[in-house]
Amino acid sequence: MNMWNAYVAPVRVMSDLVKCVARATSDVGAFIQSPIRTRQRKMNHVETEEQFKTAIAADQITVASFSAPWCGSCKQMKPKVEALATELSQATFLKLDAEELEELLEEIEVESFPHFRVYKSGELLAEYTGTKFEKVEEFIRANVQ
């Protein structure tokens, strides 16, 4: 009988391993399909002046985030602002690149980055320039709530 245990034991281990892999694979599938993974970011990339003017004319709060590719603070703040945009779903969040929309930013006098503006129905309600996320978050929450 001991001779058979030498052959059966590895089969049991393999069987347990196969079950474990199958369970892990099904868990991965569930994870990939979970709402957290499929939720889209709420930041809308603005590519034209027309898109910007249409977006801020809406009858809801719109937060515009102005940044530049060379701005280190903008890069650090980006994921935090995106998370805030996802959380504050009652507002529309826009992201505008200074180099893509240089003429527009000159026209509306945005000169430093990161810069944030809050609009409703085409009207500028508030604006803030700053590099500390805590202050930016406070500004956005105060104007979106």
Concerning whether 74 is annotated as a catalytic residue, the answer is: yes
Catalytic residue among 71, 96, 110, 118: 71
Q: At what angle do helices 133-144 and 72-87 cross, to 10 degrees?
A: 30
Catalytic residue among 43, 61, 64, 74: 74
- The Cβ of residue 70 has, within 10 Å, a number of other Cβ atoms equal to 10
Query: How is residue 122 written in tokens?
Result: 């085409």
Give bridge partners of residue 43 from the DSSP assignment: 93
Q: Are 96 and 137 in contact (CB under 8 A)?
A: no
φ, ψ of residue 129 to 5 degrees: the values are -120, 130
CA distance 54 to 122: 8
Number of helices (H), then strands (E), in the chain = 6, 5
Q: Is 20 a catalytic residue?
A: no
Residues marked active site are found at 71, 74
